[in-house]
Structure formats: structure tokens, C-alpha cells
Structure 1
Amino acid sequence: MSGFQIGKDILSYVAVGDSFTEGLDDPYPDSADFPSGRYRGWADRFAEHLARHVGELRYANLAVRGKLLRQILTEQLPRAVELSPDLVTLCAGGNDILRPGSDPDALADAFESGVRRLRDTGADVVVFTGFDTGFQPVMKHLRGKVATYNMHLRAIADRHGCAVVDLWSMKIFQDRRAWSADRLHLSAEGHRRLALRVCEVLGVPAEGDWDEPWPQLPPSPWRQARQEDLRWAREHLVPWIGRRLTGRSSGDGLAPKRPHLEPLVRR
């Protein structure tokens, strides 16, 4: 990235994407400042780190859970371009990859069109590869498709001068404590660590080590592990499949949590 720098009097940052960037499952505590049901996530956490090193950080988060790549490009990208920020984080395509018949080559072509539009505004752009799904039995079969998409994303980043946050190489995400109960979204600790990794990629000082080893846990008994798998399938997998079959999305009717560039209060 050529132009991004901290220490400015005013810096603007826009986050674009789906549930990953909206912040599921990292809820803010109930309070007057953070209404129940609003998620924090790595993007908010990264913005908090960034705000400590600029005179004023103006931050918008346009991400909405469940959105496909084409929806992000048509619903969020025009708004991001209109805001003309200094920095944009873009993660999109994960929900498409989960769907049978999706083509990572075609997805990459569409993704590049979005990157090009953002870079034409003069914004620095950060892109994210997909996670390595090899450790998740239910999604292990998607590993080749994710890897193909990742190679495209890296090439796109090279062509357009974007920074890359390589989620595939982050082995800490192969621990179940990095994930929430639905096994699709990061836990609060997963989001915290990812925010630190984004800081590292962009050269933003932050306390903490995203790659700190997880404390040792005793192995779960076989019966307990199978019971947890059954509970997960009943409470999370079956509803997810139901939404896919009926064409519904978890984000239907939802608006972005931070649609405007607004000053972020330092904490």
C-alpha cells in the first residue's frame, strides 16, 4: 500500500462486507452506548486501535450479514465510493463459496471490479483471503475452492497495490475457541486476535499478540464431542440449510450498523 499512514489529523475508514465484517458473534455489552443486538467485531476493534494514533478517526461499517458478493458490490460499494475514505477493508465472496455450484473464477472477476472502483477513488484497500477450512469436517470439502479463490485474491491485490490479510495462514483459527457456537463466525477472542493482525499488516501499533498460543485444554471425551456435534447440527446447520433452500438470508431487512462516516470516540 502506497499512501496509508497513521498520525494524520483526520483519517476516514470504511469497512465493507458480510457478517465477518459486521462482527458476528462478538456482541457489545448491553449499555446506553451499545444497544443489545449490535456486534463489535474485528473491524470495530481495529478502528479503536487506529483511533489512538490519529487526531480524529471517522469510521463507517457498511457490512451486513448474509450478503453475497454481487449484493455487496451493488449495495455497499457505491456508498463506499461516495464516502471517499482514506482506507477501505473489503472481504466478500465467502457466502458465495459456501453455495453449491459457485465459481471462484467468476467471483474473482467480480471482486476485482470492486477493488478497481475503490482504488480509483484514491483509497488504500485491504483484502482478506478465506480461512483454511481443512480442520472443519463439515466444510472440509470446500478447501480447494477456497484455495483457488485465495490465489485470485492475492493476484488482484498485487495488480492493484492492496494489502492482504492472509486468514488461510493464521493457524490460530484452527482452534475451536476462535469460533462461536455456530462454527461459522469468529468468537469475541477470534475477533480480538484478528484486529491485532490487521494492525500488524497496516503498521498500526497495538498491544497484544494475535499469534499467542492458546492455553492447553484437556481432550473432550468422544461422547461429549458427538453430543456437541449433534447440538450444533440441530441449532445451527439445519436452520442455515433451511434459509438456503427458501432463498432467505440472515441479513434480510437489516441496515448497516454504521452507515455514515462518524467520529469514533476513543476508549
Structure 2
Amino acid sequence: MTDNGPLRYVALGDSQTEGCGDGDDVRGLRGWADRLAEHLARDTPELLYANLAVRGRLAGQVRDEQLAPALALEPGLATVVAGVNDLLRPRFDADEVAGHLEAMFAALTAQGARVATVTFPDVARITPLARPIGPRVIALNDRIRQAAARHGVVVAETSHHPVVTDRRLWSPDRLHAGPLGHARIAAAVADALGLPGSDDGWTRPLPVDPRPVSGLRAVGGELRWAGSFLGPWLVRRVRGRSSGDGRRAKRPELLAMPRPAALHPLD
């Protein structure tokens, strides 16, 4: 993607791009952007990679806090994925959120970066209690596509494929992808970018789960999820707190990515 020097890849975003759900804060987070960087390193003579994402950030915060540092790193490739935290706020405005995303698309592409983003899945298929958010997801995805088209941004259409709402791809909190989900996102972005060794394998469904879930078990699972994850999340919102308070980007500077011996984003 560049003829002069190493490829510079910079990831902007929130908790998904930071890697929440794929590892932990003790052992470290991997995540789809790290996995994409690993895939790039396999076929790139020299790759420098920075990840500016911080959990809990709204799209406007990603723009305010991460865009200028990203531009200063002069990326040849950038990924911009944000908006889910906005979707969960009572006062959601799809046009406002998309405006922040488009401003980042415009600035990065104007500087010469190739930019990629994703669309979001129907959260109601992951968490029935989130059904009221469904129309918001559709509205935001439509605006992401429109903004991306205006600036030549590559879109990984994860929203189109049923497998992305298979709960086995998600962490127990249902807000973040699990390791397999992060691997699928990385593979989707690699496929959208047309990277060597990428294909549409990420769209294929998982094997049928042999453990059927009864109605009673499903209700019990929803109640346990609400108590363990939804409740604490709502408490933070009421208190005006964020999971990202006081946190910094895990990889704010461009660092060399070692070339793996053999790796595929689905690993």
C-alpha cells in the first residue's frame, strides 16, 4: 500500500478496536486491530502499527482525542470504528455521530491514507433486551455507507451476515466480541481491503451448537446477564462515569510489528 518506506497502520476507535473481550487487562488485550496488523505484517516487508483506541469513547471523543495524533503519525492505512457507545445513549443522533465519522474519513483520506471501517450488527439478535436500539443501528449503518462512499473509504459489511450475531462470537457481556469474534472482524476488514490470503470465510456460519437452549434457560440467561453486566453499565451511566475514565491508548506510538511465521486472522 506504500512504495516509500514501511507501511504505517493506525487504528482509531473505542473498546472493540482496543481489543476488549480478547484477552484482559492483566495479560494484555489483542483484538481485531492487532489481528489485522498481524495479518498485514505477514505480507508486508515492514509494518509500523499504532492503536489509539480507548474504551468507552463516543464518536465525537474519538475525533477530538485521536484524529490529530493519527494524522501526525502519517498513516498509509487507518481504520476508524466508533459509534456503538453513542447508540447506547438516550440522546442518540445518527447524523451527529456519522458527522464525526465522516470528518475523520475526510481528514485521513485527504492526507493520503487508505481508510477502512465496518458496519454494525443487529444487537437485538445478540441481546433481546436491546431490541429498541435496532432502528438506530440501521440508521447509523446507512449513514456510515454514505459517508464512506463520499470519501472512498472501504467498508467491511459485517451487518449483512447472520454469523456476526452468533453469541459464540461474543464475550459474556455481549457488548464486546470474544476472541473468535475479533478474529472474524479482522478477517472481514482484511477481505474488504483485498489483502493477500484473505477471503470471505469469515461470513460462514459456525457449526450447529449441539446444546439446545430451552425457554426457561434463555430467560435465566437474560436475567443473569442483566444483573452481571447491564446493571453495572447503567449505574456508570447514571453516575456520569465511563469504563475508559483515566485510560490511555495501549499503543500510542508507531511500533514495528514482527512478521509471523504463519498466521491467519481467523486463528
TM-score past 0.5 threshold: yes
What residue is the counterpart of 1:31 in the other structure? none
Structure 2 CA distance, aligned partners of 1:99 and 1:191? 24
Question: For 1:26-84, what per-residue CA distance to the aligned partner results, in whole angstroms no more than 9, with x for missing partners?
Answer: 017xxxxxx82421011100110110111111000000100011111111111001101
Structure 2 CA distance, aligned partners of 1:211 and 1:115? 26
Q: TM-score, length-normalised on structure 2? A: 0.91
Structure 2 CA distance, aligned partners of 1:52 and 1:6? 15
The amino acid that maps onto 1:244 is R
The amino acid that maps onto 2:56 is G
- Find out whether 1:15 has 2:11 as its counterpart: yes
- Find out whether 1:187 has 2:178 as its counterpart: yes
What residue is the counterpart of 1:24 in the other structure? 20
Structure 2 CA distance, aligned partners of 1:221 and 1:229? 12
The amino acid that maps onto 1:126 is A
What residue is the counterpart of 1:99 in the other structure? 89
| 1:30-69 equivalent positions in 2, closer than 5 A | 36-69=26-59
What residue is the counterpart of 2:115 in the other structure? 125
Structure 2 CA distance, aligned partners of 1:207 and 1:68? 30
Structure 2 CA distance, aligned partners of 1:99 and 1:86? 33
- Find out whether 1:213 has 2:205 as its counterpart: yes
Structure 1 CA distance, aligned partners of 2:2 and 2:214? 49
Structure 2 CA distance, aligned partners of 1:188 and 1:103? 31
Report the CA distance between 1:213 and its aligned residue. Answer: 2.3
Identity percentage over the alignment?
44
Structure 2 CA distance, aligned partners of 1:72 and 1:211? 28
What residue is the counterpart of 2:217 in the other structure? 224
Q: TM-score, length-normalised on structure 1? A: 0.91
- Find out whether 1:72 has 2:55 as its counterpart: no
- The verdict on how the C-alpha distance between 1:10 and 1:233 changes in structure 2, with shifts beyond 3 A counting, is same
Is the CA contact (8 Å cut-off) linking 1:7 and 1:53 kept in structure 2?
A: no
The amino acid that maps onto 2:234 is I
- The verdict on how the C-alpha distance between 1:199 and 1:7 changes in structure 2, with shifts beyond 3 A counting, is farther
Structure 2 CA distance, aligned partners of 1:12 and 1:92? 20
Is the CA contact (8 Å cut-off) linking 2:190 and 2:198 kept in structure 1?
A: no
| 1:227-238 equivalent positions in 2, closer than 5 A | 227-238=220-231
Is the CA contact (8 Å cut-off) linking 1:118 and 1:125 kept in structure 2?
A: yes
Is the CA contact (8 Å cut-off) linking 1:196 and 1:206 kept in structure 2?
A: no
Which consecutive unaligned segments of at least 5 residues does structure 2 have? 261-267
Q: Which runs of 4+ in 1 moved over 6 A?
A: none
Which consecutive unaligned segments of at least 5 residues does structure 1 have? 29-34
Structure 1 CA distance, aligned partners of 2:120 and 2:204? 21
- Find out whether 1:253 has 2:246 as its counterpart: yes
Structure 2 CA distance, aligned partners of 1:132 and 1:21? 19
SS of 2:23 mapped into structure 1: coil
- The verdict on how the C-alpha distance between 1:137 and 1:8 changes in structure 2, with shifts beyond 3 A counting, is farther
Structure 1 CA distance, aligned partners of 2:121 and 2:208? 23
SS of 2:28 mapped into structure 1: coil
